[in-house]
Structure 1
Amino acid sequence: MLLLILPIVAIVSWLGTAALRRYALSNRIIDTPNARSSHAVPTPRGGGMAIVAVFLLAIAGLYQEGMISLSFMLALMGGGGLVAVIGFLDDHQHIAARWRLLGHFAAAGWGLYWLGGLAPLELGSFYLGTGIVMQVLAVFYLVWLLNLYNFMDGIDGIAGLEAISVALGGAFLYVLTGAPIAAWVPVLLSSTVLGFLLWNMPPARIFMGDAGSGFLGIVFGLLSLQAAWVNPKLFWSWLILLGVFVVDATWTLIRRLLNGEKLYEAHRSHAYQWASRRFSSHKVVTLGVAALNLFWLLPCALLVACGYLPGFLGLFLAYVPLCVLAVIFKAGVREL
Structure 2
Amino acid sequence: MSSFWLVPVVFASSFILTGLLRCYALSRSLIDIPNDRSSHTIPTPRGGGVAIVVSFLTAICLLYVTGLISADLFLAGAGAGAFVAVLGFMDDHGHIAARWRLLGHFAAAVWALYWLGGFPPVHAFGQVFDLGWIGSILAAFYLVWLLNLYNFMDGIDGIAGVEAVTVGLGACVLYWLDGNGLLLWPCLLLAASAGGFLVWNFPFARIFMGDAGSGFLGLILGVLALQAGWASFELFWGWLILLGIFIVDASFTLLRRLLRGEKVYEAHRSHAYQFASRRYGKHWPVTITVGLINLLWLLPIAICVIRARLDGVTGLLLAYLPLVFLALKFQAGRAESL
**TM-score relative to the length of structure 2:** 0.98
Q: Using the alignment, how far apart are the partners of 1:18 and 1:153 within structure 2?
A: 19
Is 1:309 aligned with 2:310? yes
Divergent runs of 4+, >2 A: none
Name the Cα RMSD after superposition.
0.8
Q: Using the alignment, how far apart are the partners of 1:270 and 1:26 within structure 2?
A: 32
Is 1:160 aligned with 2:132? no
The alpha-carbon deviation at position 175 of structure 1 amounts to 0.4
The alpha-carbon deviation at position 116 of structure 1 amounts to 1.3
Q: Using the alignment, how far apart are the partners of 1:189 and 1:40 within structure 2?
A: 30
For the 8 Å contact 2:118–2:135, the answer to whether it is kept is no
User: Any idea what the Cα deviations from partners look like across 1:20-50, whole Å, max 9, x if unmatched?
Assistant: 1111111111110000100000001100011
Q: Using the alignment, how far apart are the partners of 1:221 and 1:178 within structure 2?
A: 21
Query: 2:152 is aligned with what amino acid?
Result: F
Q: Using the alignment, how far apart are the partners of 1:21 and 1:13 within structure 2?
A: 12
Q: Using the alignment, how far apart are the partners of 1:272 and 1:156 within structure 2?
A: 11
Name the counterpart of 1:109. 110
Query: 1:107 is aligned with what amino acid?
Result: A
Is 1:26 aligned with 2:37? no
Say which is worse superposed, 193-202 or 255-264, in terms of deviation. 255-264
Q: Using the alignment, how far apart are the partners of 2:142 and 2:4 within structure 1?
A: 33
**1:15-164 correspondence to structure 2 within 5 Å:** 15-164=16-165
Q: Using the alignment, how far apart are the partners of 1:302 and 1:211 within structure 2?
A: 32
Q: Using the alignment, how far apart are the partners of 1:307 and 1:27 within structure 2?
A: 53
**TM-score relative to the length of structure 1:** 0.99
Query: 1:182 is aligned with what amino acid?
Result: L
Q: Using the alignment, how far apart are the partners of 1:131 and 1:298 within structure 2?
A: 30
Say which is worse superposed, 190-199 or 118-127, in terms of deviation. 118-127
Name the counterpart of 2:172. 171
Q: Using the alignment, how far apart are the partners of 1:79 and 1:55 within structure 2?
A: 13
Name the counterpart of 1:196. 197
User: Any idea what the Cα deviations from partners look like across 1:215-261, whole Å, max 9, x if unmatched?
Assistant: 00000100110001111111000000000000000000001111221
Name the counterpart of 1:334. 335
The alpha-carbon deviation at position 307 of structure 1 amounts to 4.3
User: Any idea what the Cα deviations from partners look like across 1:141-199, whole Å, max 9, x if unmatched?
Assistant: 00000000000000000000000000000011000110111111100111111110000
Query: 1:205 is aligned with what amino acid?
Result: R
Q: Using the alignment, how far apart are the partners of 1:80 and 1:311 within structure 2?
A: 28
Is 1:265 aligned with 2:266? yes
Name the counterpart of 1:323. 324
Name the counterpart of 1:186. 187
SS of aligned partner of 2:78: helix
Query: 2:333 is aligned with what amino acid?
Result: G
**Number of residue pairs the alignment of both structures matches:** 336
User: Any idea what the Cα deviations from partners look like across 1:261-287, whole Å, max 9, x if unmatched?
Assistant: 111221100000000001111000000
Query: 1:90 is aligned with what amino acid?
Result: D
Q: Using the alignment, how far apart are the partners of 1:308 and 1:132 within structure 2?
A: 28
SS of aligned partner of 1:127: strand
SS of aligned partner of 1:295: helix
Name the counterpart of 2:248. 247
Give unmatched runs, 5+ long, in structure 1: none
Q: Using the alignment, how far apart are the partners of 2:18 and 2:33 within structure 1?
A: 19
The alpha-carbon deviation at position 130 of structure 1 amounts to 3.4
Query: 2:202 is aligned with what amino acid?
Result: M
Q: Using the alignment, how far apart are the partners of 1:113 and 1:153 within structure 2?
A: 28
The alpha-carbon deviation at position 308 of structure 1 amounts to 2.5
Say which is worse superposed, 253-262 or 269-278, in terms of deviation. 253-262
Q: Using the alignment, how far apart are the partners of 1:266 and 1:58 within structure 2?
A: 33
Q: Alignment identity in percent?
A: 59
Q: Using the alignment, how far apart are the partners of 1:35 and 1:202 within structure 2?
A: 22
SS of aligned partner of 1:274: helix
Q: Using the alignment, how far apart are the partners of 2:129 and 2:114 within structure 1?
A: 18
Name the counterpart of 2:217. 216
SS of aligned partner of 2:322: helix
Is 1:278 aligned with 2:288? no
Query: 1:219 is aligned with what amino acid?
Result: I
Q: Using the alignment, how far apart are the partners of 1:220 and 1:4 within structure 2?
A: 22
The alpha-carbon deviation at position 202 of structure 1 amounts to 2.5
Q: Using the alignment, how far apart are the partners of 2:263 and 2:189 within structure 1?
A: 38
